[in-house]
Amino acid sequence: MFDISAKDDKTRARTGVLTTEHGLVHTPAYVVVGTHGAVRCLEAEDIPKTKTQLIIANTYHLWRSLGDEGLHDYPGIHEVIGWQGPLMTDSGGFQVFSLGFLREKGMRRGKGSSNDDDNGNDAGAKNLVRITEAGAYFRPEDLPEGEEVYLDAEASIKIQEQLGADIIVAFDEPTSPLHDHSYTEAAMERTHKWAERSLAAKESSQKIYGVVQGGAYEDLRSASAKFIGALPFDGFAVGGTYGDAYGGTKEKTRQMLKWSTPHLPENKPRHLFGVGRIEDILDGVEAGVDTFDCVIPTREARHGGIWTAEGRLNIKRGVFSGDDDALDALCACPACLDGLARRELYELFKTKNPQAGRLATIHNVYFFNEFMDKLRQAIKDGGFGEFKAEYSRRFSPVDNSK
């Protein structure tokens, strides 16, 4: 499933090829988010133009929108998206956290999730999750008061098999750096049990990833990586890091990766959930991560955040109203090749033209995928250290006011 083609001699960075039933993924790779079975603002024919290799969809949201009857008749996520390339689905485990603890604490979802919804949380919102040793009960707000829906390892795997992605994920319980050691350890042990049950439940030929948890604690992270890494998964994901979201920090994420990746099998792919800024990708690749998913390219595009070779622009600022420059002079995305000027995109956003989100999304997704192309080449050429230093200078920290 995974072949390593080159390694950096000073770090854990590597390039490789991930083989799926719907094609190859050259790693390190950015995984584009299609939460509800679509990449927001893009038509199916737009996706190949963005150099996208792999898309991830959200199991919980698809399950809730389709229902059991809809899943029974579901034609498969490739057909629905209109994309015949590689696809992943997560397990629904993130919603155990995001609709529970995260919602209750009023913490932001946007910085670290594989969910491309825009709604955040207000402090003190109702916790919609009841966690047991067996699984999780959800109390969605669209159900009558008192009614619940239940998701566990077996149900998650069955749903993912019905959705039909190339890569599926074991059910897990993420935690925040704000959780104490005792609760984090209990959640980690549940995740380990659910991982074993997920493996036992799988009946399809899909590849399955196990998830490392353990929060912000070195002993738990290392223990989880050793336990999950010893199970017969096809690949592994590191969860519960979230960059500087949910009470964490970038430094803490770097530590979590250092505590986790050395204990995972070298010859299998590693995914990092919900992390996707340039500086975070560079840190992840240095720690030996192969794929990353994040909503940053798509969500920020819809709100006028444009990524360029020299940094991030807020194209909705008035300063761009008369700017005839290209979005990025070095970009070869369809929007830039067609000569789209900054002032034109500014005007499209100002008039609420739907093409604004579409063109911005095409550009951003292409930008991140092109960045990954350059990153892979730097590793192959033995220049990862210099590449990381240069792009860290350009993009860290990101000034979202620009």
Which parts of 41-131 fold into alpha helices (H)? 59-72, 77-81, 93-98, 101-105
Identified catalytic residue from 8, 90, 280, 283: 90
Amino acid at 218: E
Q: What count of other Cβ atoms lies within 10 Å of the Cβ of residue 232?
A: 7
90 is annotated as an active-site residue: yes
Strand partners, 57: 89
Q: From the candidates 116, 166, 293, 328, which is the catalytic residue? A: 293
Residues 17, 246: Cα–Cα separation, whole Å: 32
Enter the pTM of the model.
Answer: 0.93
Query: How far is the C-alpha of 89 from the C-alpha of 324, rounded, in Å?
Result: 41
Label the pairing between strands 129-131 and 135-138: antiparallel
To the query of whether residue 324 is one of the catalytic residues in this protein, the response is no
Going along the chain from its start, the domains and CATH numbers come out as 2-294 (3.20.20.105), 302-392 (no CATH)
Residues shown for the chain: 402
pLDDT tens per residue across all 402 residues of the chain: 899 999 999 999 999 999 999 999 999 999 999 989 999 999 999 999 999 999 999 999 999 999 989 999 999 999 999 999 999 999 999 999 989 988 887 665 444 445 665 445 555 678 899 999 999 999 988 888 889 999 999 999 999 999 999 999 999 999 987 889 999 999 999 999 999 999 999 999 999 999 999 999 999 999 999 999 999 999 999 998 655 555 557 788 899 999 999 999 999 999 999 999 999 999 999 999 999 999 999 999 999 999 999 899 999 999 999 999 999 999 999 999 999 999 999 999 999 999 999 999 999 999 999 999 999 999 999 999 999 999 999 886 544 444
Nearest to 253, CA basis, from 360, 119, 111, 143? 111
- Alpha-carbon distance values, 136 to 243, 273, 301 (Å): 25, 20, 34
Q: Quote the tokens at residue 345.
A: 């995109």
DSSP 13: -
